[in-house]
Structure 1
Amino acid sequence: MMGRERLEKNLADQMKEAQLKLGYEEETMRLYYPVASLNLLLGTDCEKAGEMKETLEKLFAEPESRLGKLEFAVRAGRIEISVPPEGARYVHEHMGDVAFLQEIVSLFSDPHGKSVEDVKQVFGKFGAYVCEQMPEGSDFDQVLYFEDPSVDEYYYCVKEEMGHLIYHRFLKEDYRMM
């Protein structure tokens, strides 16, 4: 998958996750990326946020994205990507099967009294998966991901703390950089 397509897919995936958590609104959505993550998605080697902003503006100059006219800004050393309301609508109406993501978001909507075993049950419904212990001192306890990334390409890092469960999902490359 080319860099532009991969970034568009990642934007749509992040937006769909937000819509499942917060509900759908036809409004501008702003997503924030570190330069290193965008380099991984795009196959670029920009060193500074300003350089990445220029790269993105050129890459998305023409044709317009299926998410609409994207806007880029530098905010605190990260890149803010603004997706217009028609992009939010496109994601809401055209995202493919997101049954796994729906179940994960539903599980974490009430994280109290949940455990990694509950997460494993959700993963198990959708295919073969891997669950690995995170290294000592990391921010998470376990990482789970599907053996077949076509089910879901993300790595889900989970942590049990103070009686509830939290998660964060990463692209494989971002996870490997942690």
Structure 2
Amino acid sequence: MDGKELLERVVSTIQEMYLKLGDPEGAVSLYYPFEGDYPNLESEFYSEISGRYPGITVEMMSNRLRVLIPEEDCIRISAIPAKPTMKDLVDLTMARRKINAYREHLGHKYPGSRIVPSPYIDFDWILVFPEDIDKDIYCLSEELGTVTFHRFSKEEYTDMGFRLP
């Protein structure tokens, strides 16, 4: 992960949080596993946020990064339109749609997207989109009749020992 990728993860996570929860108040701390060249990542990250998000800070904490986003920067980030795939997934989840509705809606709107059964007990299905639409991996689970999802970068997904579908 480099500074640009870290900023992209921070922005998309804050956007996802605001889509799911509305307008929460206060600062947010995000944690990411990291075992690399921290000084270089830190320099790249601050270069990426320079002038855009003045209050965001990053620090190394024993094999992981902590990114602190103050409320003002969360509000700025939440005003940026989220990627359509994420918005669609949140909308389907909030509407408490069944997995077949996910397949139908996403398959129609995003040709080439796939929802496949998960070989892992952690999740029920794995959702992938064509690379040019969305590079993230979405892991879907049905709990008490509601489909929920967790979003991972390919790097995060494979670092956890999972294989790409």
Q: Give the TM-score band, short-chain normalised.
A: 0.7 to 0.9
Retained in 1: the 8 A contact 2:93–2:146?
Answer: no
Retained in 1: the 8 A contact 2:98–2:145?
Answer: no
Matches for 1:1-178 after TM superposition, within 5 Å: 3-25=2-24, 27-35=26-34, 45-46=35-36, 52=38, 54-62=39-47, 64=50, 66-73=52-59, 78-95=64-81, 98-109=83-94, 111=96, 114-128=97-111, 129-135=113-119, 137-147=120-130, 149-177=131-159, 178=162
Retained in 2: the 8 A contact 1:30–1:83?
Answer: yes
Please list the CA deviations of residues 64-118 of structure 1 after superposition, one character each: whole Å capped at 9, or x if unmatched: 26232322345685322012233223212233x533322211221254xx43212
Retained in 1: the 8 A contact 2:3–2:46?
Answer: no
Query: What amino acid sits opposite 1:59 in the alignment?
Result: E
Q: 1:74, 1:5 → 2: CA distance?
A: 17
Retained in 1: the 8 A contact 2:123–2:141?
Answer: yes
Please list the CA deviations of residues 91-146 of structure 1 after superposition, one character each: whole Å capped at 9, or x if unmatched: 12233x533322211221254xx4321221231243121222221x4301210111
Retained in 1: the 8 A contact 2:55–2:69?
Answer: yes
Gaps of 5+ in 2: none
Change (3 A) 1:125 1:65: farther
Please list the CA deviations of residues 29-82 of structure 1 after superposition, one character each: whole Å capped at 9, or x if unmatched: 2211122xxxxxxxxx52xxxx74x55443344472623232234568532201
Query: What amino acid sits opposite 2:116 in the alignment?
Result: E
Change (3 A) 1:61 1:171: closer
Query: What amino acid sits opposite 1:104 in the alignment?
Result: L
Change (3 A) 1:84 1:13: same
Retained in 2: the 8 A contact 1:155–1:175?
Answer: yes
The TM-score with structure 2 as length reference comes to: 0.77
Q: Could you say what the CA RMSD is over the residues aligned between the two structures, in angstroms?
A: 2.8
Q: Which moved more, 1:72-81 or 1:154-163?
A: 72-81
- Give 1:152 deviation, angstroms: 2.1
Change (3 A) 1:73 1:107: same
- Give 1:171 deviation, angstroms: 1.0
Change (3 A) 1:12 1:162: same
Percent of counterpart pairs with the same letter?
A: 25
What is the total number of aligned residue pairs between the two structures? 158
